[in-house]
Amino acid sequence: MDSSTATRMFEALSSPVRLTVFRRLVREGPEGMVASAIAEALDLPPTNL
């Protein structure tokens, strides 16, 4: 991965909410989660996703 791509990826994950969502999706694996399940699991308003 080149530096420019890596920089954009880290910038996107700099938000605490985005990083928490990303970590949750990694734990879920290939099956993933629908947005409403993510919001409920992380106690977030759906509009934050």
pLDDT digit string (tens) for 18-43? 899 999 999 999 999 999 999 999 99
Q: Domain locations in the chain?
A: 3-48
For the CA atoms of 39, 44, 45, 49, what is the dihedral angle to 10 degrees? -60
29: left (phi over 0), alpha (psi -120 to 50) or beta: left
What is residue 36's predicted lDDT score, i.e. its pLDDT?
94
Residue tagged 């509009």 (tokens): 47
What is residue 25's predicted lDDT score, i.e. its pLDDT?
95
Positive/negative CA dihedral, 17, 18, 22, 28: positive
How is residue 14 written in tokens?
Answer: 């700099």
Give the contacts of 17 (CB within 8 A, at least 6 positions apart).
Answer: 44, 48
